[in-house]
Amino acid sequence: MGTSTTALKGAGPVTGSRSFIAKLRDGDEIARLITLVFAASVVLITAALVLELWVNSALPRQKFGLHFFATSVWDPIMDQYGALPFIYGTMVTSAVALLIAVPLGIGAAIFLAELAPPRVSDTLQFFIDLLAAVPSVIYGLLGVFIVVPIMRTMIYPALNKPFGYLPIFKGPSYGVGFMTAGIVLAIMVIPYIISVSREVLLSVPRDQREAALALGSTRWESTWKVVVPFAKTGIMGSIFLALARALGETMAVTMVIGNTPKIAASLFAPGYSIAAVIANEFTEATGDLYLQSLIALGLVLFLLTFVLNGLARILIVVTTQKGSEVGG
Amino acid sequence: MKRFTGFAVGVLALCAIVLADNALLINGAGATFPYPIYSKWFDVYHTKNPNFQFNYQSVGSGAGIKQVTEGTVDFGATDGPMNDDQLKAFQDKHNGTGILHFPTVLGAAVPTYNVEGVSAPLNFTPDALAGIFLGKITKWNDPAIAGANKGVSLRATDIVVVHRSDGSGTSFIWTDYLSKVSEEWKSKVNKGTSVNWPVGLGGKGNEGVTGLIKQTPNSIGYVELIYAVQNNIPYGAVKNSSGNMVKADLASVSAAAAAAAKAMPDDFRVSITDAPGKNAYPISSFTWLLIPQKFQDTGKRDAIKGFLTWMLNEGQNSVEALTYAKLPKEVVEKEKKAISNIQ
Amino acid sequence: MMSGRLRWRKFVSNFMLAMTGVCAFVSVLVLFFILGYLVFNGGTSINWDFFTKLPKPVGEAGGGMSNAIVGSGKILLLASLFGVPIGFLGGIYLAEFSGKGMASVVRYAADLLNGVPSIVIGIFAYSLVVLPFKHFSAYAGAFALGMMMIPITLRSTEEFLKSVPRMLREGAMALGASKWKTIATVIVPAAYRGIMTAILLALARVAGETAPLLFTAFGNRFESHGWSQPTATLPVMIYTYAVSPYEDWHRQAWAAGLVLLGLVLIINILARTILSRGIAVPRS
């Protein structure tokens, strides 16, 4: 008797409504409620975070409006705050990072997906995944003690002497600066490009490759002209993911960027990024406008990474679905 | 699953028991300027009084002022005294009770540099320093610098300026001095713990600035004297208001405080940059502990009062070893009386 | 008989493919370089003192990071106790109980939370936990790190639960088990490996986070007792020591970096080995 009622209860939705107390006696309902509470708390926490950011950045919105994004003065004494130097610094360092990481990353992904035998590919991917796990403060540590001196003694002379007339290579070398931060960021985001691009390339159906080869193309031509374009959107997605990671990176950047809120054309100049200025100035921002301007910067960063992550996800899903649809 | 929960609860309970509170922890945060002497003091004081642990975090004067105002730390520390707005902000947040400044030591902000081939102390005129930090003097062999340093060969290399990236009392001392000696600096940049620096790299804390200067050739920055000494980087002499080139040391810093010591205001907030006196080092300063006037926790209050008394008596004996100057006697006496203001 | 054009194309092909090999090789080499450099610089500084002594006053050589090691351990433990149950039980809800609407909302929120830059999480934790209670604390740091563990745990739990074969589910139900009993005794154990992996990976990820701890755990010269005191942690110590000018501190920063990296890598390797030995589950 007990068994059959239990089996009936567990089988599906019960018709008719029971009282709440009756429902509570049902173990399943309790389980549902408990897990519901925890799931809802995730939504709650996220909503609270977004709300806090929005509410606590009201002052600069009121005072500066959209001008906040167009001004480049950051003066705590005069209580004037403009986001431009930090947005600029974040963009430039991320751009440098991608310029270095994308070719390397896609190249490595092609090797892992197309050329390497499966076991070699999996082993190398394992190591690349470990690279992604290295904490950012360690990248900062290496940045300060390895990349900065290399920048000063090798990279700067190599680029400044022959190309010093170009605005991006002008000016003195500090060791720290946009380019140094970009290089450190590049190392940090390569694993993301490699692992996602590799997955995406692996999902390209075999007959695409085989068709190209059958038509007489070389291995490289079939890869570069057929497989990669097929996986193009997914690779784009991996780049967006990498970009989102680079934008939000704090510690490694603040240790090597020079912490100067100025916009400069030269890549060797010191700069600042959104995450770095928050890390440096948040605990000491006296005055509500100062503090809220920093939070407003945090909100900007959050929105940027949010959009990029969303786009990335869509692109990656679209590509892998395309692969399974087209068949093979 | 059950086993895991049981394990976790057990560990937590164990932690709570084993690491149960034995000593009273008093938290402070603020200036990096006096950090070497504070960390030494708190270490020695803890050995003498194991019941008290003073945890001081060197995060910059700006953060010290902010966090003591928010109440997240029990005391603060700054080399730039709180201005009236900040004092009012504290009172607003603490039901009208105020915050007191207690000078601890005298120190100096020195121009320290890393110039290839130069190990001798350079001489700097006020105009040279202002020009460098304004970004108008860009090469080491500029006449403003070379003029005061005949006999030193300076090359036409670019000057890399280093300043603080965090809210800093040392910055306050430096910009306070520059505002006094340069009209242009005063109108363009003015003084404060966080200013809009015309040029330069930002380092975090006195530690960060020292680190940057050590690693960056042809750089110049400002740090508290002990940081230059402990790290063996050269620092220069500055021309004072009497026209003498003075290097920072115990005598010249004490000389700078001599006049102010006799006329010390009751709240101890005073600036001694560009002080009169022919041997005075022009970029000297007191540094203060910020103690709230009222404490809810009587244990903490008594601990802090005890520390302050010790600091004014025995603590002063260890400051000179770290190149800070002792407080003038008049100031010490005045402070001892002021301790009773803490309730 | 190859024409010149074909020879060229073949050459380009071999060259470019070799280049991709170089790219892969270089990328993997970076990892070993990092490890090697840390071992070289930090290895000699890892001694008994490092693990057992407190830091010395500024400028004096010697001392260790015992408080930071314990502090990191405490905060990570608390962070797991906060983040894992939420992620785990939330994942169960998504996989077993929820309707489509609620599920997408929860997933969306988790994805959002996952993308929040860690410094912003620090801001949130400061406003929510530090300010109202008026002190920096271990639990503020744990709150921030725990929040970061939630999305990974949630999504992975959901995926691994969903991938448990229908056979197992239906078998249990046929034997008369109620839904929650099925979940607790059959489905979760079946997905256990994957979920464990995800938790370990989440732990490894937050173990290295520095930014959120700057405004929450702050720092402590001494051992922190209990959970409501400011706490020293390994990543923050590394940061502080690395940007300082003291050679001795640099030495200790390398040692701490090695310890931290070693910890993170061991957790990662452990997690991935657990996964690879388990039931075939889809890659996340």
Distance from CA of A21 to the nearest CA of B (A): 27
Q: At B210, which amino acid appears?
A: T
Considering only residues 159 to 198 of chain B, which have any Cβ-Cβ distance to chain A shorter than 8 Å?
A: 160, 165-167, 190-197
The DSSP H or E segment spanning B85 is helix B84-93
Predicted confidence (pLDDT) per residue in C28-48, tens digit: 999 899 989 888 888 888 888
Beta carbons of A280 and B67 less than 8 Å apart: no
pLDDT at B225: 93
Distance of CA B151 to the CA centre of its chain: 34
Burial of B63 (0-12, 13-18, 19+ CB in 10 A): buried
Region of C48 on the Ramachandran plot (φ > 0 left; ψ -120 to 50 alpha; else beta):
alpha
Q: Is there a contact between C70 and C226 (Cβ–Cβ < 8 Å)?
A: no
B69 near A CB under 8 A: yes
pLDDT at A3 over 70: no
A193 near C CB under 8 A: no
The residue among B276, B308, B330 whose CA lies nearest residue B100 is B308
Strand ranges (DSSP E) for chain B?
24-30, 52-58, 75-78, 99-114, 123-124, 160-164, 201-203, 219-224, 237-239, 245-246, 284-292
pLDDT at C225: 85
Which residues in A lie closer than 8 A to residue C130 (C-beta atoms)?
A: none
pLDDT at B255 over 60: yes
Beta carbons of A284 and B194 less than 8 Å apart: yes
pLDDT at C226: 85
Strands A80-81 and A74-75: antiparallel
Rounded to whole angstroms, the Cα distance separating A239 from C201 reads 22
Q: Is there a contact between B106 and B225 (Cβ–Cβ < 8 Å)?
A: no
B329: which 2 tokens?
């006697």
Rounded to whole angstroms, the Cα distance separating A52 from B273 reads 42
Q: Which residue has the tokens 């100096």?
A: B108
Beta carbons of B167 and A259 less than 8 Å apart: no
What confidence tier does A10 reach under pLDDT thresholds 50, 70, 90?
very low
Burial of B279 (0-12, 13-18, 19+ CB in 10 A): middle
CA angle C212, C213, C214 (to 5 degrees): 95
Q: Which of B70, B116, B165, B178 to mutate to test the interface with A (most CBs of A within 10 A)?
A: B165
pLDDT at C281: 44
Which residues in C lie closer than 8 A to residue A283 (C-beta atoms)?
A: 214-215
pLDDT at B10: 62
pTM: 0.86
pLDDT at B141: 92
Rounded to whole angstroms, the Cα distance separating B306 from B51 reads 12
Cβ-defined contacts of A162-165 (< 8 Å, 24+): none
A84 near C CB under 8 A: no
Residue of B nearest to C219 (CA): B57
pLDDT at B177 over 90: yes
Which residues in B lie closer than 8 A to residue A284 (C-beta atoms)?
A: 59-60, 62-66, 166-167, 193-194
Q: Is there a contact between A283 and B63 (Cβ–Cβ < 8 Å)?
A: yes
Beta carbons of C134 and B70 less than 8 Å apart: yes
pLDDT at A220: 87
Q: Is there a contact between C112 and B49 (Cβ–Cβ < 8 Å)?
A: no
Predicted confidence (pLDDT) per residue in B18-64, tens digit: 455 578 899 999 999 999 999 999 999 999 999 999 999 998 898 99
Which residues in C lie closer than 8 A to residue B63 (C-beta atoms)?
A: none
Mean pLDDT of C244-262: 89
Beta carbons of C21 and A115 less than 8 Å apart: yes
Query: Rg (Cα) of chain C, in Å, rounded?
Result: 24
Beta carbons of A174 and B167 less than 8 Å apart: no
Which residues in A lie closer than 8 A to residue C89 (C-beta atoms)?
A: 34-35, 38-39
Beta carbons of C20 and A108 less than 8 Å apart: yes
pLDDT at C284 over 50: no
> Cα–Cα distances in Å, from B278 out to B110, B246, B272, C86?
18, 9, 14, 69
A95: which 2 tokens?
């751009």
pLDDT at C280: 43
The residue among B210, B279, B288 whose CA lies nearest residue B250 is B279
pLDDT at B210: 93
Helices (H) and strands (E) in chain B, counts: 13, 11
Q: Which residue has the tokens 């642990």?
A: B53
Q: Is B190 helix (H, G, I), strand (E, B) or coil?
A: coil
pLDDT at C283 over 60: no
pLDDT at C74: 92
pLDDT at C190: 85
What confidence tier does A209 reach under pLDDT thresholds 50, 70, 90?
confident
Beta carbons of A138 and C250 less than 8 Å apart: no
Q: Is there a contact between A182 and A101 (Cβ–Cβ < 8 Å)?
A: no
Residue of C nearest to A138 (CA): C257
Q: Nearest by CB to A28, which of C27, C179, C209? A: C179
Neighbours of C266 (CB within 10 A): 12
B62 near A CB under 8 A: yes
Q: Is B78 helix (H, G, I), strand (E, B) or coil?
A: strand
pLDDT at A317 over 60: yes
Sheet containing B245-246, strands listed edge to edge, beginning at the edge strand earlier in sequence? B123-124, B237-239, B245-246
Q: What are phi and psi of C107, to 5 degrees?
A: -65, -40
C→B interface, C-beta within 8 Å: 56-59, 74, 77, 81, 130-131, 134-136, 184, 188, 218-227, 229-230, 240, 243-246
Per cent of chain A over pLDDT 70 is 91
A74 near B CB under 8 A: yes
Beta carbons of A260 and B192 less than 8 Å apart: no
Beta carbons of B202 and A258 less than 8 Å apart: yes
pLDDT at A14 over 60: no
Beta carbons of B165 and A148 less than 8 Å apart: no
What confidence tier does B248 reach under pLDDT thresholds 50, 70, 90?
very high
Q: Which of A284, A291, A294 to mutate to test the interface with B (most CBs of B within 10 A)?
A: A284
A108 near B CB under 8 A: no
A123 near C CB under 8 A: no
Rounded to whole angstroms, the Cα distance separating A284 from C266 reads 37
Q: Nearest by CB to B56, which of C74, C131, C221? A: C221
Beta carbons of A28 and C38 less than 8 Å apart: no
Annotate chain C with three-state secondary structure. CCCHHHHHHHHHHHHHHHHHHHHHHHHHHHHHHHHHHHHHHHHHHCCHHHHHCCECCCCCCCECCHHHHHHHHHHHHHHHHHHHHHHHHHHHHHHHHCCHHHHHHHHHHHHHHHHCCHHHHHHHHHHHHHHHHCCCCHHHHHHHHHHHHHHHHHHHHHHHHHCCCHHHHHHHHHCCCCHHHHHHHHHHHHHHHHHHHHHHHHHHHHHCCCHHHHCCCCCCCCCCCCCCCCCCCHHHHHHHHHCCCCHHHHHHHHHHHHHHHHHHHHHHHHHHHHHHHCCCCCCC
> Cα–Cα distances in Å, from B188 out to B62, B134, B219?
21, 9, 23
What confidence tier does A11 reach under pLDDT thresholds 50, 70, 90?
very low
Q: Nearest by CB to C119, which of A137, A144, A275? A: A275
> Cα–Cα distances in Å, from B228 out to B112, B209, B211, B300?
7, 10, 10, 35
pLDDT at A8: 45
B→C interface, C-beta within 8 Å: 1, 8, 11-12, 15-16, 19-23, 25, 27, 29, 35-36, 39-40, 42-43, 46, 53-58, 70-73, 203-205, 207-208, 210-211, 213-214, 226-227, 230-231, 322
Predicted confidence (pLDDT) per residue in A135-185, tens digit: 999 999 899 999 999 998 888 888 888 888 888 888 887 889 999 999 999
Annotate A177-230 with three-state secondary structure. CHHHHHHHHHHHHHHHHHHHHHHHHHCCCHHHHHHHHHCCCCHHHHHHHHHHHH
A149 near B CB under 8 A: yes
Predicted confidence (pLDDT) per residue in A229-273, tens digit: 888 888 888 898 889 889 989 999 999 998 999 898 899 999 999
Q: Is there a contact between C123 and C215 (Cβ–Cβ < 8 Å)?
A: yes
B201 near A CB under 8 A: yes
Predicted confidence (pLDDT) per residue in B99-125, tens digit: 999 999 999 999 999 998 888 889 999
> Cα–Cα distances in Å, from A270 out to A89, A157, B220?
9, 17, 15
What mean pLDDT value characterizes chain C? 87
Beta carbons of B207 and C244 less than 8 Å apart: yes
Which residues in B lie closer than 8 A to residue A293 (C-beta atoms)?
A: none
Beta carbons of A10 and C89 less than 8 Å apart: no
Neighbours of A26 (CB within 10 A): 18
Beta bridge partners of B114: B219
What 8-state DSSP symbol labels residue A147? I
Which residues in A lie closer than 8 A to residue C86 (C-beta atoms)?
A: 38, 41-42
pLDDT at B188: 92
What confidence tier does B81 reach under pLDDT thresholds 50, 70, 90?
very high
Beta carbons of C245 and B29 less than 8 Å apart: no
